[in-house]
Structure 1
């Protein structure tokens, strides 16, 4: 017998076992025991004093987010948080579910029958899988990572599996609470969640799907796409500096905390966010420490390091994103403005509001074509236009950075800019202007060394260098 069928069967069995494990781990196939039915049994669980103290700290942290958002569902108070665990579990469920009725689109009923189709990744706290709802709607699902570092360390310290599951689950619950209250185009959208059992740490959150941010790929992309990422980031940081919860600091600021959704940058991990700015007595208490330099923030008369959260976020944006993505291959006439952003941000001499304003100015100049005022006016006159056709093959050459790895495809504001680019490329003798546009509304243009294989296309125009056109006619 051939070994191929045996390998196929083994591979299928391995896939089945893996998906079954993921389903069990995510509690998505259970028949949904209601949390309220489990509450009478919670007092029977014995927690050591140290773990109970850790749990109370997590509850108090969540209390802050309910308090500042004007929660109306149960009026959480310190008395509620520090009272019996039964009362707290009921209270947190009531509070989360109150907001869920307003914000969430997906609940336990839908998540119970979701189909797991792929494993996306796992970290210290959470695991992420791709799921498809019964009607075919895809989502990214987060739950507590049973094999993660947080669970393992907790078990080493407290030897209490149920208590550790609950303790670790508070990070995911915090993320749910934050995303129920913070809404911005550059924040991942919370589609819904289910609190299967807080005692067992069985919490599932459903998010819109995104692609992990690959910095190496992004570095090779056109400047327009890299600028889009930086613009989205600074818009998000501006929102977080004055959010409904106050100034939000991203304490674990890393590119891996972000994803791309249809080309738009979105923050997907909020469990290490903080809405409290440090208290202080003197300026020495308000130091921002980074690997290569430190900054000192003034201590306000109220004894708060005012603006420290905002400046922490902004400098992290500079050192992780702006430094690598913004200056390289930028249009020459925009570089002075970009250099100014880099200098002021790198020294933290501008706040996030002024930085956002500078980005918006660059966007306006880029979209309006005002940055092209110094282009030679005669460049278009050097080309002959063939309307209603496009080049379908041959004459391809590569340029960088291009929207295609196999051809030279760039975005332009106008035909004049396309003609200027073609003239500046030694290999270019023609270009095709089609109907495709980028996120800024600019047209995508294919640059070629020739113009053979022309085919009808009502939305396209082929521009050919006149000297090249005359040579072809003579031949």
Structure 2
């Protein structure tokens, strides 16, 4: 404004100043105006830059507060904007293509998969960086779509994804970062699993056959896991879930004759199975192959050990038939379900074993606070086991030298068996309406 007032003043004194002086003043005013505009543009660009997702991975209070209300079971998927506010990111795994992070969004721990920018696939690519990144990101996008198609309690749940429209550019601030958010699980540790009690390992076996059944009859048809290893799975809570679907093949192999349908596999021993060529496909090929591999990598370590003695032969027979290529996925699914029912019901108990309950006196609504002793590694503070009935509790107590009583408490295992606590004494009897006390006759 001062420039224009100066110009007006100059107009009244045109006769005193030369035309060159007027041009000089106009030039100076224009320069001043340009500088003001540049400063305003810079300030606005800084404000915009601070609000972009690229600056958000540091985590801010506003982003974390928004996540407090988010529930992983709500069905609402996280987007690019929300993904950038995940905090406490820590690498928990990486491969040729992907890097997996553990992070916290609101009150929920999640897994975030993105392209491994320094991995083998990126390092060996000779194209431009954005092209190489897009090629690797396409694998993550494909895997995400497949996980969604295979939605199942034993398949890792997708909780969000970021598919930006911008091309990837390395270095801060990076844009165009492709990521997928899933449930957070931990790797399958077979040493840890072998230390579980039989019922906990039976739960893993139950999950394995549920996955086999789903692969055999998925929404996409019959699926083959070419790389059926424990590394392709994680445990979320106490549930085994399929997490890596990169090597899944859709549909049974194509064929012209039965000669094209010979399945060869190594499961401790060489297995050769002859399958029929039916309507141009090897019928049951994927189902049988998956079952053999599941037997080798899981089932032979899960069910033959620690079961009630009456179920040992059944468990061993299932594993032997699996490893010999004599059980399809649907068949082993039925066998494990039958094993679970037998274990849950206690139908394996003999009449003499059931009759031992007659040697115990029942005290409903009473419990014992002392007399704990250790009878297995997983329960160092007490002897605890699930039972199918009070009769099985009495029989188990009779097999333990220290046991003189047991209590059925108000807790049940995943199979529906009730939890029993075995005791070496019964001096401190107390009231507990949720418990039932059984004391062996002739004690004290």
Shorter-normalised TM range: 0.7 to 0.9
Q: Structure 1 28/441 Cα, relative in aligned 2: closer, same or farther at 3 Å? A: farther
- State the alpha-carbon separation in 2 of the partners of residues 307 and 466 from structure 1: 57
> Which residue in the other structure is 2:334 paired with?
357
Residue deviations 1:298-324, cap 9 Å, x none? 361544333222222111100011111
Q: Secondary structure at the match of 1:202?
A: coil
> Which residue in the other structure is 1:116 paired with?
88
Task: Tell me if the contact between 2:148 and 2:157 (Cα under 8 Å) persists in the aligned partners.
Answer: no
Work out which of the residue numbers 428, 433, 443 in structure 1 matches 2:418. 443
CA positional deviation for 1:375: 4.6
- State the alpha-carbon separation in 2 of the partners of residues 250 and 294 from structure 1: 17
Segments ≥4 residues shifted beyond 6 Å: none
> Which residue in the other structure is 2:114 paired with?
143
Work out which of the residue numbers 147, 150, 153 in structure 2 matches 1:179. 147
Task: Tell me if the contact between 1:211 and 1:259 (Cα under 8 Å) persists in the aligned partners.
Answer: yes
Q: Secondary structure at the match of 2:219?
A: coil
Higher-helix-fraction structure:
1
Q: Structure 1 312/405 Cα, relative in aligned 2: closer, same or farther at 3 Å? A: farther
Q: Secondary structure at the match of 1:463?
A: strand
**Is residue 189 of structure 1 aligned with residue 166 of structure 2?**
no
Task: Tell me if the contact between 2:372 and 2:382 (Cα under 8 Å) persists in the aligned partners.
Answer: no
Task: Tell me if the contact between 1:107 and 1:193 (Cα under 8 Å) persists in the aligned partners.
Answer: yes
Indicate the RMSD between aligned Cα atoms, in angstroms: 2.8
Q: Secondary structure at the match of 2:159?
A: strand
- State the alpha-carbon separation in 1 of the partners of residues 199 and 217 from structure 2: 28
> Which residue in the other structure is 2:56 paired with?
29
- State the alpha-carbon separation in 2 of the partners of residues 27 and 316 from structure 1: 44
Q: Secondary structure at the match of 1:29?
A: helix
Q: Secondary structure at the match of 2:365?
A: strand
**Structure 1 length normalisation: TM-score?**
0.70
**Is residue 220 of structure 1 aligned with residue 192 of structure 2?**
no
Residue deviations 1:262-312, cap 9 Å, x none? 312111111221114333455256443436414244361544333222222
Aligned ranges for residues 98-113 of structure 1 at < 5 Å? 105-113=77-85
- State the alpha-carbon separation in 1 of the partners of residues 226 and 382 from structure 2: 41
**Is residue 250 of structure 1 aligned with residue 232 of structure 2?**
no
Q: Secondary structure at the match of 1:196?
A: coil
Q: Structure 1 305/219 Cα, relative in aligned 2: closer, same or farther at 3 Å? A: same
Q: Structure 1 285/384 Cα, relative in aligned 2: closer, same or farther at 3 Å? A: closer
Paired residues in the alignment total 368
Task: Tell me if the contact between 1:131 and 1:141 (Cα under 8 Å) persists in the aligned partners.
Answer: yes
Q: Which protein has the larger Cα radius of gyration, Structure 1 or Structure 2?
A: 2
Task: Tell me if the contact between 2:110 and 2:184 (Cα under 8 Å) persists in the aligned partners.
Answer: yes
CA positional deviation for 1:166: 1.8
Gaps of 5+ in 2: 1-52, 59-74, 169-175
Residue deviations 1:353-400, cap 9 Å, x none? 122122222222222332335352431222233443433344412226
CA positional deviation for 1:240: 0.9
